[in-house]
Amino acid sequence: MTCTSASEKPILGIETSCDETAVAVVAGGRRVVSSVIASQEQIHALFGGVVPEIASRQHTEILVSVTEQALQEASSTWSDLGGIAVTNGPGLIGSLLVGVSSAKAYHAATGLPLVGVNHLQAHVSANFADVCDIPLHEADLPAICLVVSGGHTDLMLLRQPTQYELLGMTRDDAAGEAFDKAARVLDLGYPGGPAVSQAAELGDPAAFAFPRPQVADTLDFSFSGLKTALIRQVQQLSPQKQGRPSAKHLDRQTVADLAAAFQAAAVDTLVRNSMEAVKQTGVARLAISGGVAANQLLRERLSHQCKLAGVAFHCPPLELCTDNAVMVAIAGYHMLRTREPDNLNLDVFSAMPR
């Protein structure tokens, strides 16, 4: 089924799966007309991580004004749009409910077709945006996609914009989760990923030898061993051996070295499995997405390895790696072209984590 109105008119995307309230208007499945992201980072930083109840309340307070701003910046009214796409999972249940309920209300009021988008598919779709250095096109597919976020570390084979096959996933912690936990152990604050990579800039990655865990005969990941190795190292270096491991007594250079060694090990693991997926499938195209894809070392290492292997490399700009609504609108565009809209049947429970 092809919904022509959706392909001609821009799609409004809504993202509220975690702690970013985001709304965007995207035309033709790639042209970013407007993108508004209201981050709750500063609120959750006080607690050292996302507090689900606070996150959903915050979405409730600001989603309407973020939507109005996105429409205003796009110089659009509801009648200019071809459809609405909203993340309906996986994510924090309360946060998802705010986005989905609002999208249903907008659908009921405007009659625009409405689709629910899987958050991981949305991350992958960021690579189609025209603001990417080298945007992915439908004709380029298949491609290998590494989705690395706070909740997921997945290697996928993307056959069509809406059709993918899982090649590998994490057996325990997600890569972003590991970065966040490392930042907590090193007393670097929240969100952990950017804090660890910033501290790592002054550090020596060879100062500590951390493991590069491998799950035999699969493309799966495991980060809990790396996290434990970091905790043990901090414990060993701390004068106080009991209680919660803390880097409070360590000097700045040691913390920087620990951050650099941790980052190098995590990035090595991600690069190794991604290039292995390219080799095993023979698909000479790799795209990355998700919050951890904003990591500079990961971007540089993958870009370099792809160049050496003659593999095309795609990565979204930083603001489209972390949670945003452009990616949701793009995924929604492709869904509206290929299937009936969900309209009021959207269900956040059916899209819960695997």
220: contact with ligand KG4 by CB under 6 A? no
Q: How far is the CB of 271 from ligand KG4 (least distance, A)?
A: 14
Q: How far is the CB of 222 from ligand KG4 (least distance, A)?
A: 17
**Strand intervals (E) in 5-48:** 11-15, 20-27, 31-39
180: contact with ligand KG4 by CB under 6 A? yes
* Residue 220 or 323 having the CB closest to Zn ion: 323
Count of residues that interact with ligand KG4, criterion CB under 6 A: 19
Q: Which does 294 bind (CB under 5 to 8 A by kind): Zn ion, ligand KG4, none?
A: ligand KG4
Out of 29, 193, 316, 341, name the contact with ligand KG4 by CB under 6 A.
Answer: 193
223: contact with ligand KG4 by CB under 6 A? no
333: which residues sit within 8 A by CB, 6+ positions away? 6, 7, 11, 26, 28, 29, 83, 85
Start-to-end C-alpha separation, the chain: 28
Q: What is the DSSP letter of 191?
A: S
Q: How far apart are CA 303 and CA 297, in angstroms?
A: 10
Query: Exposed/middle/buried for 80, CB within 10 Å: 0-12, 13-18, 19+?
Result: middle
Q: Which does 179 bind (CB under 5 to 8 A by kind): Zn ion, ligand KG4, none?
A: ligand KG4
13: contact with ligand KG4 by CB under 6 A? no
125: contact with ligand KG4 by CB under 6 A? no
76: contact with ligand KG4 by CB under 6 A? no
DSSP, residue by residue, 214-265: --TTSS-B--HHHHHHHHHHHHHHSS--SSS---TTS-HHHHHHHHHHHHHH
242: which residues sit within 8 A by CB, 6+ positions away? none
Q: How far apart are CA 267 and CA 298, in angstroms?
A: 6
**Crossing angle for the helix pair 296-309 and 252-281, nearest 10 degrees?**
30
Out of 150, 161, 168, 316, name the contact with ligand KG4 by CB under 6 A.
Answer: 150
Out of 179, 210, 223, 262, name the contact with ligand KG4 by CB under 6 A.
Answer: 179
Query: Torsion over CA of 166, 172, 176 and 178, rounded to 10 degrees?
Result: -150
Out of 6, 14, 18, 132, name the contact with ligand KG4 by CB under 6 A.
Answer: 18
Q: Which does 197 bind (CB under 5 to 8 A by kind): Zn ion, ligand KG4, none?
A: ligand KG4
Out of 34, 87, 197, 273, name the contact with ligand KG4 by CB under 6 A.
Answer: 197
* Residue 113 or 194 having the CB closest to ligand KG4: 194
List residues near ligand KG4 by CB under 6 A: 18, 149-151, 176, 179-180, 191-194, 197, 290-292, 294-295, 322-323
